[in-house]
Amino acid sequence: MENPKDYGFNSQLIHYSGHDDKYGSATVPIYQTSTFAFDSAEDGAACFAGTKEGYIYTRIGNPTVKALERQIALLEHGYDSVAVSSGMAAVSTVYMALLSGGDHMISSAAVYGPSRVVMEQHFSRFGVQSSYVNSADVENIKKEIRPNTKMIFIESPANPTMDITDIAACAEIAHSIGAILVVDNTFCSPYLQNPIDMGADVVLHSITKFINGHADIVGGVIIGKEKIIYDKLRTMMVNMGCNMDPHQAYLVIRGLKTLGIRVDRAQENAIEVAKFLENHPKIEWIKYPGLKSFAQKDLVEKQMKGPGTMISFGVKGGLEAGKKLMNNVKMCILAVSLGGIETLIQHPASMTHSKMSPKAREDAGISEGLVRFSVGIENVGDIIGDLRQALEKI
Ligand code: LCS
């Protein structure tokens, strides 16, 4: 194969699976094994010593999982990646590998709820300090810098507020104090945003979302820009034991092939759905990066290749009205998760972000009435029709 880095994104999805199969299999085989035979005792010792390349044991590495890891590293322009059992395993592995007791992390206040909960309730027990700020204004990050600040952790767009954080500006701030920048790129996928190109040191994804795209597995991945960080992440994953299973990796590789066309279609739908909601008399407010009314339009254009498929809005009448809407959709599914082929609707304050304290939700801009909508690839007329009939019930 020519250098896959020269291919366009969709060709990379289809023709680069990062595996070498001696039979020429067009798809990546599932190496459903926990362990691998050594040629000799010396060979086994060399594999463990790292003087010979070879698979040892599936928690440490597996050819199916490695194929996915290589492909995602290619798509995110990183050195290599580590696939893990869930998006939260990705977040926890990043904290565990790159922070120590006494270190300080500054994070976007608007992040996926458990990313904050695991830091404030668990990593704090080991002496890791954290501050949560509205990172849509990077000046707020600068104000929180301490001599022991080692990591800036951002989500952009943020779950579920859709606030955008300037990735390049954060990279500059982090590097000026010798810290690293970690970007949770779940809401964009590598198709719409490549944080490493803007200076991020680590990118992570809940693979459960756009990368897999079919709501049939849970997984995560962490991409390191440099070998030195990648090695730390891999060592931590191996020691914590949060590896991805080969069968899970196979399904992700299969789902990933259509990432480009799935996001294109869902995004076209999202633009139409957002316009419909914006003009509907029962909608109080809406935040979607593709609308002219979106406050951070310039930043969207600067760092994203498209506005994405996620919409947040409030219904007039607040939470009670929002609940009526959610309870009356017929085709759209009332469920958490996002980034799949099916349209989902959910209520962050009582669902995905319910374990955050009310104060933390308020600081993050997650109002009680916020409804989150993940647009799928169905016929857009059916999505809008479903919303219209549900809104009529309010
Ligand atoms: N990061 C972001 C931005 C997420 O949205 C999620 C999950 C995670 C990390 C964790 O990934 P997981 O362990 O679930 O694979 N977000 C969810 C959501 O908004 N609804 O359900 C899960």
pTM of the shown model = 0.97
Residue 207 CA: which ligand 1 atom is closest? 15
DSSP classification of residue 57: B
Residues of the chain with pLDDT > 90: what percent? 94
* Nearest Cα to Cα of residue 113 among 371, 356, 370, 357: 356
Q: What is the pLDDT of residues 100-129, one digit of tens each?
A: 999 999 999 999 999 999 999 999 999 999
The structural architecture, per CATH, of the domain 4-30+61-256 is 3-Layer(aba) Sandwich (3.40)
What integer best gives the mean pLDDT of the chain? Answer: 96
pLDDT of residue 5: 86
Task: Give the active site residue among 116, 150, 209, 234.
Answer: 209
Q: At 358, is the pLDDT very low, low, confident or very high (cuts 50, 70, 90)?
A: very high
Domain locations in the chain as residue ranges: 4-30+61-256, 259-391
What's the CA-to-centroid distance between 333 and ligand 1, angstroms?
17
- For residues 330-358, average pLDDT: 95
* Nearest Cα to Cα of residue 237 among 129, 91, 106: 91
DSSP code per residue over 80-92: EEEEESSHHHHHH
Q: At 1, is the pLDDT very low, low, confident or very high (cuts 50, 70, 90)?
A: low
C-beta contacts of 6-14 below 8 A and 24+ residues apart = 9/75, 9/190, 9/191, 9/260, 10/260, 10/261, 12/71, 12/74, 12/75, 13/71, 13/75, 13/256, 13/257, 13/258, 13/259, 13/260, 14/257
Q: What is the pLDDT of residues 136-151, one digit of tens each?
A: 999 999 999 999 999 9
> Could you tell which of 112, 116, 182 is best to mutate to test the pocket of ligand 1, judged by most ligand atoms within 8 Å of the CB?
112
Alpha-carbon distance of 277 to 387, in angstroms, equals 9
Q: Is 116 among the residues known to form the active site? A: no
Residue 372 CA: which ligand 1 atom is closest? 19
* Nearest Cα to Cα of residue 97 among 176, 172, 151, 170: 151
Identify the three-state secondary structure at position 242: coil
C-beta 189 within 6 A of ligand 1? no
Strands 202-206, 283-287: pairing is unpaired
What CATH fold (topology level) applies to the domain 259-391? Aspartate Aminotransferase, domain 1 (3.90.1150)
Cα torsion angle, 135, 345, 283, 311, sign: positive
> Could you tell which of 209, 212, 345 is best to mutate to test the pocket of ligand 1, judged by most ligand atoms within 8 Å of the CB?
209
**For the chain, how are helix, strand and coil distributed in percent, rounded to 5?**
40, 15, 45
Strands 129-133, 104-108: pairing is parallel
Q: What is the pLDDT of residues 161-212, one digit of tens each?
A: 999 999 999 999 999 999 999 999 999 999 999 999 999 999 999 999 999 9
pLDDT of residue 302: 98
C-beta 157 within 6 A of ligand 1? no
Strands (E), 110-251: 129-133, 149-155, 180-184, 202-206, 220-224
* Nearest Cα to Cα of residue 138 among 115, 172, 105, 162: 172
C-beta 267 within 6 A of ligand 1? no
Q: At 39, is the pLDDT very low, low, confident or very high (cuts 50, 70, 90)?
A: very high
C-beta 220 within 6 A of ligand 1? yes
C-beta 352 within 6 A of ligand 1? yes
